[in-house]
Structure 1
Amino acid sequence: MKKYILMITILVITLSLFSIQVMAEGGTATQKKSLDLAPEAKSGILIERDTGNVMYEKDANKKLPPASMTKIMTLLLIMEELEKGSLKKDDVIRISENAASMGGSQIFLEAGEEMIVNDLLKGVAVASANDASVALAERIAGSEEEFVNRMNDKVKELGLKNTLFQNTTGLPAENHYSTAHDMAMMAKELLSHESITEYTSIYEDYLRKDSEDEFWLVNTNKLVRFYPGVDGLKTGFTNEAKYCLTATAKKNDMRVIAVVMGVDTPKERNAAVSNMLDYAFNTYETKKLFDKGQAITKLDLLKAEQNNVNVVAAESISTLYKKGESVENLTTSVELDSVELPLNEGDRVGTLVVKNGENLISETPLVVESDIEKASLFTLFKRSMQKLSKNN
């Protein structure tokens, strides 16, 4: 009898341990499934564009080759030049031997050929053209090397710690790396130039149309066509980097950015990004507070030539929350900096702080809407007289 009782006891304990192990493994699998939206990726991240809030991440600070996602920074510097007016879309660029020699993805530019900036920009944004990237870099900075220096300067300006570029294209190079987090932050900055999606959302187009050298552009980012709301940004592939993608999509005023790196196949890459976008739009909502360029307050400086210059939002401002969460305690406050004259249009003069109760939601730069010059002696004298007149 004791022998049978011992056997039954051992069996019960064994079954209990087995059940505990199964439950533990089942719980781990369930948890992993709920969190790992990009199982095939070496790293990934999902953020909301306006706030920069992270919805999901996986080894997001792991240094990896970014391949042609490098061109997100290339495009950012191009868009800055266009916005400053130092580069115009109808400017004609003569293609150098160096630019024409680029391998990999290209639009097959010939040395000595001339093409306008607008078409070269399409080549970069749609077809990931290495030759067009170098041609634009040489036009802006004089050489690709100097342009790369500017890329790395911009990396530092954005406060990114784990990115270093050696070229404008993403072609394999030693010590050329980035991370999913850093790529998302670069994409966030690029999307502040809202016209970029006019290019990155193109699925197909033509260069040199109706000529003997007509070239068919097809977007390397197939989600532009097959996922509603996707209008950018940049794919990447090399044998070392494998398949990468930084994608952005907008739905109901919420714009998100998803990045995956190091995926074995384009199908798995697109599936991972689609999963991340589905998760974002199914789980979160945003409340739009201010549009980019919307006036927030006015700047009245005693020693300025112009009175009451608008202070505007440097970019669109929203708050992000999970569906069903309360956002009734939202407050905004303006913190103005001490400034020195003169000021140029777009110079930062303060911060708009958004809170939900005591929780900090976002801090967004505020900039001046137009140039502000120092007041002339005549203006200062006139103001003094006006003030004296009022007091009397």
Structure 2
Amino acid sequence: MWKKLLAWILITVILIGNGIQVVEAFEQSGNVQMEKIMGEPDQNSLYARSAVLMDADSGRILYEKNGHQAMANASTTKILTCIIALENCELDSEVTVSALAASQPKVHLGMREGQRFYLKDLLYGLMLESYNDCAVAIAEHIAGTTADFAAMMNDKAKEIGCEDSYFITPNGLDAKDEDGFHHTTAADLSLIMRYCIKGSKMAGQFLTITQEGQYQFHDMDGKNSYTCYNHNAFLQMMDGALSGKTGFTGNAGYCYIGALQRDDRTFIVALLACGWPNNKTYKWADAKKLMQYGITMFKKIKLDEIELNTKESAAVEVKGGQSKKIGGEVRTELEISPIEGLTALLIGNEQEIQVKYEVTPKLYAPVMNGDFAGEITYLLGDEILAKRTVTVKETVKKIDFCWCIKKAAELFPL
């Protein structure tokens, strides 16, 4: 009897102890998950050597790890190749394959010298399968030579606002010349993707191509058919995934550039040197971590919807101005200019936009319509986001001898 009782007591203690361990493990797991969502990612927790999370609407960087470090970027280069081709040539134009294009290493379509394709079909091969021969064929078709196309790439990068990028090849294969090595930065690559999905007049076509899951085509002679599959697995990993491009070379490692839209917010993630062979999935882990951080921790603010303090921009007194009667006070209404450039941006959930008013309390006649009267500045911490000019709305003339005679005659008519 005592043995049975002791056995039941022992079993109960073991079960309770295990139960407590299970609960503790669950709570610890929950805490870790909350830290990932609620806090800024620790740079050491990212596999990528260089990373950027960007607000696609404003172009502001929300998070970075070595975001301005020049690094090889492999086939993520092809987003720039694609958008330049879309902007400079018709999709139904005929591309003839050169010996150089046909000689490109894997991954490749396997095109042969003399084959003819429609540009549209090669763009799908470029963006879905990342074919290197498609990139060279496209570049030569657009610019004549890959060198001339590289010049177009570098010009476009500067136009977009890139600060430290240098492109030599249209496919992103490692290369160097007397001016440097083929590279970009995570910050610049994010700007290029921002242009591709928002800034370019061909953004819609770019998205159509990069969102396609599977595409079939044949050469213009109809002798060879091809099927392309989209290797951007991120499109199925998170709701709202918009576009993206993978890349890999021995020098660059695994790279990724991707965009995601959630509600009225659009995020871009750029990852460079995100592991080497046997670590192919690192880029997906980093991309999801940074996207989730953006979704959870940032809200959208529209500057033109922030209510202004009307007292700060009320009508101001004009000293020495002509009034309706001698000795009367003269005031003029003010106008506030619309916000130019940045009107909406993402800020941290706990952050607030500050509005700074620097408007003159009084003016001295004469004042003319449009005269400067001050400015209103929108600040996020010490960062100036936008400014609005405050100007005089009504002209006020200065008191002069003629006005005095006129008003005196009104007071003492003959």
TM class, shorter-length: 0.5 to 0.7
Q: Distance in 2 between matches of 1:316 and 1:94?
A: 44
The change in CA–CA distance for 1:362 and 1:214 in structure 2 (over 3 A counts) is farther
Larger Cα Rg: Structure 1 or Structure 2? Answer: 2
Name the SS of the counterpart of 1:90 in structure 2.
coil
Contact 1:256 1:280 in 2 (8 A): yes
> Which whole-Å CA distance do the structure 2 matches of 1:39 and 1:59 have between them?
12
- Which residue does 1:113 correspond to in 2? 115
AA aligned opposite 1:279: Y
* Structure-2 change in CA distance of 1:354 and 1:63 (3 Å): farther
Residue equivalent to 2:192: 186
Residue 168 (structure 1) aligns with:
170
Q: Which is further off, 71-80 or 38-47?
A: 71-80
1:318 matched to 2:325? no
1:40 is aligned to 47
What residue is the counterpart of 1:177 in the other structure?
183
Q: Is the 8 A contact 1:127 1:219 kept in 2?
A: yes
1:143-194 deviation line (CA, Å, top 9, x unaligned): 1111011212223333433211121111121311221111111112222232
Cα distance in 2 for residues equivalent to 1:230 and 1:330 = 37
Query: Match of 1:77?
Result: 84
Give SS of 2:52's match.
strand
Aligned residues: 286
CA contact (8 A) 1:230 1:249 kept: yes
Matched, 1:284 2:308: no
Identity percentage over the alignment? 25
Equivalent-residue separation in structure 1 for 2:280 and 2:376 (angstroms):
39
- For the 8 Å contact 1:64–1:179, the answer to whether it is kept is yes
Aligned residue number for residue 232 of structure 2: 221
Cα distance in 2 for residues equivalent to 1:135 and 1:325? 49
Structure 1 counterpart of 2:154: 152
SS at structure 2 position matched to 1:162: coil
Alignment of 1:1-392 (within 5 A): 34-36=40-42, 39-81=46-88, 87-174=89-176, 175-191=181-197, 192-193=199-200, 194-195=203-204, 196-208=206-218, 213-264=224-275, 265-287=279-301, 318-323=344-349, 325-326=351-352, 356=378, 360-361=384-385
Aligned-partner Cα distance in 1 for 2:168–2:175: 7
Q: In the superposition, relative to structure 1, how do residues 267 and 143 fare at CA in structure 2: closer, same or farther (>3 Å)?
A: same
The offset of 1:230, in angstroms, is: 1.3
Distance 1:314 1:202 in 2: 36
In 2: Cα distance, 1:361 partner to 1:96 partner? 49
Contact 1:236/1:245, CA 8 A, preserved across alignment:
yes
SS of 1:35's equivalent in the other structure is coil
Q: 1:208 to 1:162 in 2, by over 3 A?
A: same
Contact 1:224 1:232 in 2 (8 A): yes
SS at match of 2:169: coil
Give the whole-Å Cα distance in 2 for the aligned partners of 1:256 and 1:77: 22
Secondary structure in structure 1 of the residue aligned to 2:300: strand
Task: State the partner residue of 2:401.
Answer: none
Answer whether contact 2:41 2:290 (CA < 8 A) is retained. no
Return the alpha-carbon distance in structure 2 between the equivalents of residues 160 and 289 of structure 1. 26
Q: Partners in 2 of 1:100 and 1:251 — Cα distance?
A: 41
Structure 2 vs 1, CA of residues 330 and 73 (structure 1 numbering), >3 Å: closer, same or farther?
Answer: farther
Q: Is the 8 A contact 1:68 1:234 kept in 2?
A: yes
SS in 2 for 1:47: strand
CA contact 2:84–2:153 (8 Å) conserved in 1 = yes
| Greater shift in the superposed pair: 313-322 or 90-99 | 313-322
- Residues 27-64 of structure 1, C-alpha deviation per residue, up to 9 Å, x if partnerless? xxx89x84326521111000011101111100111221
Do the aligned partners of 2:56 and 2:268 also contact (CA within 8 Å) in 1? yes
Partners of 1:121 and 1:128 in 2: CA distance: 9
Q: Distance in 2 between matches of 1:354 and 1:214?
A: 61
Supply the distance in 2 between the matched residues of 1:190 and 1:162 (Cα, whole angstroms): 18
Paired AA for residue 287 in structure 2: V
In the alignment, the residues of structure 1 paired with residue 232 and residue 85 of structure 2 have an alpha-carbon distance, to the nearest angstrom, of 20
Asked whether the equivalents of residues 46 and 57 of structure 1 are also in contact (C-alpha less than 8 Å), the reply is: yes
CA RMSD of aligned residues (A): 3.2
Aligned to 1:305: none
Structure 1 portions without partners, runs of 5+: 1-29, 82-86, 291-312, 332-352, 364-392
User: Secondary structure, in 3 states, of the residue corresponding to 2:91?
Assistant: coil
* In structure 2, distance between residues paired with 1:277 and 1:64: 22
Deviations 1:324-372 (A, max 9, x none): 65569699xxxxxxxxxxxxxxxxxxxxx99646864369xxxxxxxxx
CA distance in 1, matches of 2:145, 2:349: 49
